[in-house]
């Protein structure tokens, strides 16, 4: 067909309406119109094509029955056909995306149904990209700038969800880190990362580099293995301590890219039904990389994207929550103005997780209800209900955790009135009498979220409820006595995941309250406070040389000859006396051979001969 069109150039203007007609026929399946259009097209032309009159209807019929792939040939010839092909291709792309997404969830998101009909920890792919959030704030032109022409030359063609690969990164190759599906129970799939033999060897070299306490050794290891995840995590901490935030963030993104390339084909980020066990050391890097990336996103001003990553971490192990992101998710929800999600999380999980016993949820949930009551676009009934819930919950929070109020007002630079400042319920005694574990939780919340309470409207809403709580305290209300009893029984010691969260968050208010047993032990950035019940799949081999057990003479010769080994390459258990004696004789022989080798290689430099005793008297 393209060959015939190129031959009949004078009739190009007449072909356009016929082409549109044939496109409509192909979409509707009307073959008679295509026959008439083809015959009319030939009768209007020259008499040279009369012999093709019998063939043309058959060709038109054949084209109408062909799949849509043939339309791409007309894209360069005709604008009208090209526009039709573009629309059809876009429809094909949309249909493919619908098939890729979960069939139970995708129609809901396209139908405009609110997120309440989705699972609580449902993650949207578009919310994992911080550029989408920045575009909503500043516009696409301000965010992208001159990056659009560069993307055409990008050598990475693989599309990723967690991070976008950069041109400055080394080319990715398989590292030996893979993901396996363990089992599926009650609709929940359990996965795990596995280290192959070559990756284990790199891991052993990394542990040696960490023990050397020299970051240059990790840099050298990354030059040979640019996508070793633990090296990227550890070096990112080093860069962050050196105030190189850009490089630290880039290393974390590269670690996420390496981990995503190792995903199992069935592993889904959005379903919320994929699990990873933090007790296995191979899985911890994924948790830590997501958490560190989340913290960089929050500092970058992308709280909505950070909230999506926080939901992703929580969905990997919601029962145990190894990084205790429940202490963070309320802050991100408030910053991203996702008040409905926070209140829904509190309603659905309060019955089995007792979220009201955490200070962050006790104060953040009523604050979310207050912000909902201030939204004028909501119906008046919903606003009044939110206002009532906010009043009831903030009073319960002040009764349960009275030690939060004064530090919160101090961080907000607000001076309380004389009645509140002088009352012992909110005074210094409330902070001193609480347990160290509760002090860590309250210090973490105040240090993290005090900026959200600085608004004058929030303080105006908080003030009458503080006075109402003082009235209940003076009236010896039963709620006050019950809360005091709960504080004495609970919060005796914090679990290990809370300590891990405080270390990763680096909030100085909470870090100062950590116990001595946590601060006295070394904390590594690639594995802070590993679980006590870790599931070890492979162990690091013991080193073949033990210099501490060698004699002084052996250490002396080792300093001269680093390759010298008194005990040889093969070590014995020492049970057989004859073998031990033979091993000793071999060691002595090696020592004597090393001494002879050293003495034979020693050369003494002769002093310069005085051929001219009188000399010329000149000195250099």
Tens digits of residue pLDDT in 324-360: 999 999 999 999 999 999 999 999 999 999 999 999 9
Average pLDDT, the chain: 78
In terms of Cα–Cα distance, which of 405, 385, 383 is closest to 394? 405
- How far apart CA 248 and CA 233 sit, in angstroms, is 9
Instruction: Measure the CA angle with vertex 533, ends 528 and 538; round to 5°.
Output: 80
Among 252, 201, 197, smallest CA distance to 229 is for: 252
- Exposure of 413 by Cβ count < 10 A (0-12 exposed, 13-18 middle, 19+ buried)? exposed
Residue 32 near residue 7, CB atoms below 8 Å: no
CA-to-CA separations, 511 to 194, 443, 484, 500, in angstroms, rounded: 33, 9, 26, 11
- Average pLDDT of the residues in 218-235: 96
Q: Please give the Cα distance from 459 to 466 (Å, whole number).
A: 10
- State pLDDT tens for residues 405-435: 999 999 999 999 999 999 999 988 888 888 9
Predicted pLDDT at 541: 85
Query: Of all helices (H) and strands (E), which one includes residue 193?
Result: strand 188-195
Cα 396 to Cα 419: distance, rounded to the nearest angstrom: 20
* Distance, CA of 293 to CA of 252 (rounded, Å): 6
> Phi and psi at residue 15, in whole multiples of 5°?
-75, -25
Query: What average pLDDT does the segment 502-526 reach?
Result: 88
**What is the Cα 487 distance to its own chain's centre?**
35
pLDDT tier, 522 (very low <50, low <70, confident <90, very high otherwise): confident
* Per-domain boundaries in the chain: 120-139+160-323, 338-533
- Per-residue pLDDT tens for 141-196? 777 765 554 544 545 446 688 998 999 999 999 999 999 999 999 999 999 999 99
- pLDDT attached to residue 136: 86
pLDDT reported for residue 614: 53
Residue 133's Cα: distance from chain center in Å? 16
Residues in the chain: 620
Q: What sections of 273-338 are H helices per DSSP?
A: 281-300, 303-316, 326-335
Q: Do 205 and 218 meet the contact criterion of CB atoms below 8 Å apart?
A: no
How many other C-beta atoms are found inside a 10 Å radius of the C-beta of residue 8? 16
| Positive/negative CA dihedral, 206, 209, 210, 215 | negative
Q: Is the dihedral of CA 218, 220, 223, 224 positive or negative?
A: negative
Between CA 260 and CA 267 the distance in angstroms is 10
Residues 607, 618: Cα–Cα separation, whole Å: 19
Give me the pLDDT at residue 147, please.
58
Name the pairing type of β-strands 274-276 and 188-195: parallel
Residue 102: pLDDT over 80: no
Helix axes 339-353, 326-335, angle to 10 degrees: 160
368, 339 contact by CB (below 8 A): yes
Contacts of 312 (CB under 8 A, 6+ apart): 121, 123, 128, 269, 290
Closest CA to 279 of 527, 539, 540, 542: 527
pLDDT in the model for residue 31: 45
Closest among 124, 121, 137 to 188, alpha carbons compared: 121
Q: How far apart are CA 620 and CA 604, in angstroms?
A: 24
Rg of the chain on CA atoms, in Å: 36
Any idea which residue has 């209007």 for tokens? 44
- Quick one: DSSP state of residue 183? E
Q: What are the tokens at 336?
A: 């991203």
pLDDT at position 105: 40
**Does the model's pTM come out above 0.75?**
no
Q: Write down the CATH superfamily of domain 120-139+160-323.
A: Tetratricopeptide repeat domain (1.25.40.10)
Please, which residues bridge with residue 527 across strands? Answer: 524
- What pLDDT digit, counting tens, does each position of 569-585 carry? 444 444 455 555 565 56
Q: Residue 427 burial (CB < 10 Å; 0-12/13-18/19+)?
A: middle
pLDDT band with cut points at 50, 70 and 90 for residue 263: very high
- The alpha carbon of residue 16 and the mean position of all alpha carbons in its chain are separated, in whole angstroms, by 53
3-state secondary structure of 99: helix
Instruction: Measure the CA–CA gap between 127 and 133, rounded to whole angstroms.
Output: 7
For residue 46, pLDDT over 60 is answered with no
CB atoms inside a 10 Å sphere around CB 69? 7
- pLDDT value, residue 580: 54
What is the token pair recorded at 467? 């006075």
Question: Tokens 């509760």 — which residue?
Answer: 438
* 260 touches 193 (CB < 8 A): no
The conformation of residue 524, written as its DSSP 8-state character, comes to B
At 118, the pLDDT band (50, 70, 90 cuts) reads: confident
Those residues with Cβ within 8 angstroms of residue 614's Cβ, 6 or more apart along the chain or in another chain: none
DSSP 605: P
Q: Taking a C-beta distance cutoff of 8 angstroms, is the pair 322, 497 a contact?
A: yes
Please give the Cα distance from 233 to 253 (Å, whole number): 10
> What's the pLDDT score for residue 77?
42
Query: What is the rounded CA–CA span in Å between residue 330 and residue 350?
Result: 14
Cβ contact 264:275 at 8 Å: no
Q: What is the pLDDT of residue 612?
A: 53
Q: Give the C-alpha separation, 443 to 509, whole Å.
A: 6
SS3 for 256?
A: helix
């Amino acid at each position: 067909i393209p060959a015939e069109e190129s031959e009949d150039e004078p009739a190009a203007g007449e072909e356009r309406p016929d082409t549109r007609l044939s496109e409509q026929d192909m979409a509707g399946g009307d073959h008679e119109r295509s026959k008439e259009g083809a015959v009319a097209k030939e009768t209007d032309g020259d008499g040279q094509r009369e012999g093709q009159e019998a063939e043309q209807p058959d060709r038109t019929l054949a084209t109408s029955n062909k799949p849509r792939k043939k339309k791409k040939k007309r894209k360069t010839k005709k604008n009208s056909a090209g526009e039709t092909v573009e629309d059809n291709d876009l429809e094909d792309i949309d249909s493919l995306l619908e098939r890729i997404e979960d069939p139970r969830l995708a129609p809901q998101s396209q139908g405009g149904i609110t997120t309440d009909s989705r699972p609580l920890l449902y993650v949207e792919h578009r919310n994992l990209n911080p550029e989408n959030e920045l575009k909503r704030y500043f516009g696409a032109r301000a965010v992208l700038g001159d990056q659009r022409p560069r993307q055409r030359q990008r050598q990475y063609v693989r599309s990723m969800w967690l991070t976008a690969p950069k041109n400055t990164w080394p080319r990715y190759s398989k590292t030996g880190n893979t993901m396996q599906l363990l089992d599926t129970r009650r609709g929940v799939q359990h996965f795990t990362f596995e280290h192959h033999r070559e990756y284990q060897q790199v891991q052993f070299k990394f542990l040696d580099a960490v023990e050397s306490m020299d970051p240059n050794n990790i840099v050298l290891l990354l030059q040979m293995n640019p996508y070793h995840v633990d090296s990227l995590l550890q070096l990112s901490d080093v860069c962050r301590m050196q105030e190189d935030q850009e490089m630290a963030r880039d290393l974390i993104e590269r670690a996420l890219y390496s981990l995503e390339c190792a995903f199992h084909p069935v592993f889904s980020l959005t379903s919320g039904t994929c699990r990873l066990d933090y007790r296995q050391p191979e899985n911890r890097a994924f948790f830590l990389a997501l958490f560190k990336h989340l913290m960089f996103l929050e500092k970058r001003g992308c709280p909505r994207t950070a909230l999506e990553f926080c939901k992703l971490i929580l969905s990997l192990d919601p029962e145990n929550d190894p990084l205790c992101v429940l202490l963070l998710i309320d802050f991100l929800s408030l910053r991203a103005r996702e008040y409905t999600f926070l209140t829904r999380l509190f309603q659905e999980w309060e019955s089995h997780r007792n979220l009201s016993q955490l200070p962050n949820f006790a104060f953040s949930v009523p604050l979310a209800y207050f912000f909902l009551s201030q939204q004028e676009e909501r119906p008046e009934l919903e606003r009044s209900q939110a206002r009532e819930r906010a009043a009831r919950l903030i009073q319960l929070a002040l009764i349960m955790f009275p030690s939060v109020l004064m530090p919160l007002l101090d961080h907000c630079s607000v001076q309380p009135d004389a009645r509140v400042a002088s009352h012992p319920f909110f005074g210094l005694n409330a902070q001193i009498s609480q347990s160290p574990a509760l002090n860590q939780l309250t210090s973490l919340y105040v240090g993290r979220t005090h900026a959200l309470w600085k608004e004058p409207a929030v303080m105006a809403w908080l003030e009458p409820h503080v006075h109402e709580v003082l009235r209940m305290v003076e009236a010896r209300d039963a709620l006050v006595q019950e809360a005091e009893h709960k504080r004495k029984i609970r919060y005796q010691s914090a679990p290990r995941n809370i300590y891990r969260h405080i270390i990763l968050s680096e909030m100085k208010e909470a870090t100062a309250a950590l116990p001595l047993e946590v601060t006295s032990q070394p904390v590594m950035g690639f594995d802070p406070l590993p679980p006590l019940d870790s599931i070890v799949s492979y162990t690091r081999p013991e080193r073949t040389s033990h210099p501490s057990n060698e004699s002084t003479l052996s250490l002396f010769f080792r300093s001269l000859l680093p390759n010298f080994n008194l005990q040889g390459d093969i070590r014995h258990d020492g049970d057989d006396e004859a073998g031990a004696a033979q091993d000793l004789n071999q060691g002595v022989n090696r020592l004597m051979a090393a001494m002879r080798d050293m003495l034979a290689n020693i050369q003494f430099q002769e002093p310069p001969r005085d051929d001219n005793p009188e000399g010329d008297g000149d000195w250099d």
